[in-house]
C-alpha cells in the first residue's frame, strides 16, 4: 500500500514537471507572452496548456 502511494505521488510530480505531458520543447528564441497574461516557453506549450481556447501570442519575451 505504501509503495502504491509513493508511486502515485511520483507520478504527480512527473506530470507536473513535464507540463501536462504536452511533448513540447522550449523555443530556442526564448519565452513568449500570451493574451491570457501568462508566459509560455513555446507556442506549442501555450496551445497545449490552454487547450486551444483562443489564446494567442502577444509578443516575444516574458509577460510583465
Q: What is the CATH number of the domain that holds 28?
A: 3.30.60.30
Q: Is residue 51 situated within a structural domain?
A: yes
Single out the residue of 41, 42, 32 nearest to residue 64, CA to CA: 32
Domain residues for the domain of 47 are 22-64
In a domain, 61, yes or no: yes
Is 10 among the domain residues? Answer: no
Entry field: residues in the chain: 64
List, for residues 20-60, the tens digit of each pLDDT value: 578 999 999 999 999 999 999 999 999 999 998 999 999 99
Overall pTM surpassing 0.85 (yes/no): no
Is residue 44, in this structure, part of any structural domain at all? Answer: yes
Give CA–CA dist 46/40, Å, rounded.
6
Would you say residue 13 has pLDDT above 60?
A: no
53 falls within a domain? yes
DSSP codes joined into one string, 38-54: -EESSHHHHHHHHTTSS
Strand order in the sheet with 32-34: 39-40, 32-34, 57-60
Report the distance separating Cα 57 and Cα 34, nearest Å: 4
**Structural domains in the chain (count):** 1
Q: Is residue 16 part of a domain?
A: no
Amino acid at each position: 500500500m505504501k509503495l502504491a502511494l509513493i508511486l502515485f505521488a511520483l507520478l504527480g510530480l512527473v506530470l507536473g514537471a513535464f507540463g501536462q505531458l504536452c511533448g513540447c520543447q522550449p523555443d530556442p528564441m526564448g519565452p513568449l507572452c500570451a493574451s491570457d497574461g501568462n508566459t509560455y516557453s513555446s507556442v506549442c506549450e501555450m496551445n497545449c496548456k490552454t487547450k486551444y481556447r483562443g489564446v494567442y501570442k502577444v509578443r516575444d519575451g516574458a509577460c510583465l
